[in-house]
Amino acid sequence: MAPFTPVPEEQLLAPYAMTAGRSRGRRYPEPEHSYRSPFQRDRDRIIHSRAFRRLEYKTQVFVNHEGDHYRTRLTHSLEVSQIARTVARALGLNFDLAESLALSHDLGHTPFGHLGEEVLRELMDGKGGFNHNRQSLRIVELLEERYPDFPGLNLTYEAREGIVKHSSNFDPEKEPFLAEYHAEESPPLEAQLIDLADEIAYNHHDIDDGLESRLLDMEGLVAEVPLFGEAFREADRRHPGVDRHQLINAALRRLIDRLVSDFIEAIGREIAGRGIETVEDVRRCPEWLARLSEDVAAENRRLKRHLHERLYHHPRIERMRDKYRRILIALFERYVDNPRLLPPSFCKRHPGEAAERLVADYIAGMTDRYALDEYRRLFDPCEKV
């Protein structure tokens, strides 16, 4: 019997989609799998990494012990993946690559959400700096240890490029170690769409969590944010008499459907209007093609402003941030002062690293729960060590 031969991606995807045949390969060459594409293997390696599993106990907005139903970095990454797959499928893009990038985009995030990144950036100023995208790259290239033949996960060039260029590009003069990712090139569409998929996901679920926590005011949201207000009024018209929780869910479904539909249509117009026919056309285009229409983008910015003003800087959130800032600073300073407090196995895996970088790697990898436990072990004289 003849061996099974999968249908080539070129026959399934749009001509401007990234395919395995167009990939720039892996840093360490490996034999290809008989029926799993390189981008499928990237996705599976990400899912099986320790860094991905730890996202379950890393803050999105609310710290894990605040409640069981709030989003975490893990559930956020899964929601980004849902949107990325939908957009990629609708446009004929490589949804395996899009999913890989969605699942890996927050691997380098610290405990306690963006606060942790802010603290480590301040503490590492002049010592190599800290950025969660660069930390994600460091994880997949060096810090993960699953394979005997190479460090990290040995992801494809396109997966690593998407991590590097997520949310921003880079200055090759300031970061020469990233030169191989060609700052002058736009990444493939599969990478471009992750930024907005990320934004749509967190805008959607932060409304949900904000209303669940009662930190967001329903009436204010309906009155001041047309994107949600229109969705809420239409949900109320279609489902009269349902309870508050079901009505919010119905409104949020309409909101996310409008954003994702507009996103797909706007990218489609950019592709057609600019005559994009190949991956090379995408890379040569000086402006990214993944965007919302002007009207919906303006409405989305208004939603983001409302969340920043009413949720992210709410006094309760600020109290949490102040408390966890002091914990992270204390941990960092204590470890740098006495690196022998770090696990010997961790230090042995990364010989030659400066103490500050070693400590930043260790703290960035912590979950919220572990950081709190470690703080108690180091500073509470009654806590067992």
Alpha-carbon torsion (150, 153, 158, 160), positive or negative: negative
Least confident among 150-164, 167-181, 267-281: 167-181
Q: Are 255 and 228 in contact (CB under 8 A)?
A: yes
**In-domain check, residue 327:** no
Q: What is the pLDDT of residue 333?
A: 97
Q: Are 207 and 200 in contact (CB under 8 A)?
A: no
**In-domain check, residue 333:** no
3-class state of residue 10 by DSSP: helix
353/18: higher pLDDT: 18
**In-domain check, residue 352:** no
Of all residues in the chain, what percent carry a pLDDT higher than 90?
Answer: 78
- Dihedral pair phi/psi, residue 26, rounded to 5°: -105, 160
Q: Whose CA is closest to 102, among 319, 339, 254, 290?
A: 290
**In-domain check, residue 70:** yes
DSSP 189-254: HHHHHHHHHHHHHHHHHHHHHHHHTT-S-HHHHHHH-HHHHHHHHHHHHHSTT--HHHHHHHHHHH
DSSP 140-189: IIII-B--TTSSB---BHHHHHHHHTSSS---TTT-GGGGGG-TTSPPPH
14 has pLDDT over 70:
yes
Q: What is the pLDDT of residue 64?
A: 58
If you average pLDDT over every residue of the chain, what do you get?
Answer: 92
Q: What is the CATH number of the domain that holds 260?
A: 1.10.3210.10
Reported as a single tens digit per residue, the pLDDT across 86-138 is 999 999 999 999 999 999 999 999 999 889 999 999 999 999 999 999 999 99
Q: What is the pLDDT of residue 3?
A: 65
Sequence letter at residue 322: D
Helix (H) or strand (E) run with residue 83 in it: helix 73-91
Q: Are 158 and 24 in contact (CB under 8 A)?
A: yes
Q: What is the pLDDT of residue 65?
A: 54
Reported as a single tens digit per residue, the pLDDT across 42-71 is 999 999 999 999 999 988 776 555 656 778
Give the pLDDT band (50/70/90) at residue 220: very high
Q: What is the pLDDT of residue 11?
A: 77
Q: Are 192 and 158 in contact (CB under 8 A)?
A: no
**In-domain check, residue 303:** yes
Average pLDDT over residues 259-278: 97
Q: Whose CA is closest to 17, among 90, 67, 82?
A: 90
Least confident among 178-187, 312-321, 346-355: 346-355
Q: Which domain holds residue 310?
A: 9-27+35-317
Residues 222, 232: Cα–Cα separation, whole Å: 7
**Domain count within the chain:** 1
Average pLDDT over residues 273-294: 96
- Answer yes or no: pTM beyond 0.85: yes
**In-domain check, residue 354:** no
Neighbours of 221 (CB within 10 A): 23
Average pLDDT over residues 222-234: 94
Give the pLDDT band (50/70/90) at residue 168: confident
**In-domain check, residue 238:** yes
Q: What is the pLDDT of residue 235?
A: 93
Average pLDDT over residues 213-230: 93
CA angle 71, 76, 78 (to 5 degrees): 125
**In-domain check, residue 374:** no
Q: Are 127 and 357 in contact (CB under 8 A)?
A: yes
Residue 105's Cβ-side half-sphere holds a number of Cα atoms within 13 Å equal to: 30
Least confident among 186-190, 210-214, 262-266: 210-214
